[in-house]
Amino acid sequence: SVPESAVIKVLTSSGTTGQQPSRIFLDAETASAQSVVLVKVAQHFLGKERLPMVILDHPGVVRDRNNRSARGAGILGMAQFGHRPFYALREDMSLDEEGLLAYIEQAAGRRMLLFGFTFMVWQYLIQVLEREGRRLDLKGGILVHSGGWKKLQEAAVDPGAFRERV
């Protein structure tokens, strides 16, 4: 919807719905408006203080700044609300339990922000911890998750079951 010369960033979707990833072209005005709105909405729930932050993904998702996935853009958008972010997954998508436990212990007594995509929170955190019979003490933790509901529905997990198990 903007001239090609105005495009400053291209995001790509996961392609879950139609198997063909969508490409989202952003101009400077749209990118700026998205950032402003995200800050206003998030600060309403999180406050203005930057919180210790666990990102339920791996750091490789955000490496290419010019051509990034919608997942990477979501992480970077939320990262502005965090302080000293910790990526809970390794590049091979395995949970860094030791690092996560150390990070949680270091932030004990403080509110903490956790961000991830719904299906990834389910598959790479909740199910891993349940298989091991482990629970995390995240009193004061705020989980923000988005996307991934189609994959969760395919796994026969509804929003109520997700909330209960989280």
Pair of tokens at residue 61: 């998702």
| Element housing 39 (H / E) | helix 28-46
pLDDT at 66: 55
State the pTM of this model. Answer: 0.78
- The pLDDT of residue 41: 86
DSSP symbol at 19: S
d(CA 55, CA 47): 18
Give pLDDT tens digits for 27-81.
888 888 888 888 888 888 888 899 999 999 999 888 766 556 778 878 888 888 8
Give the chain's end-to-end CA distance (angstroms, integer): 39
Both tokens of 107, joined, read 């932030």
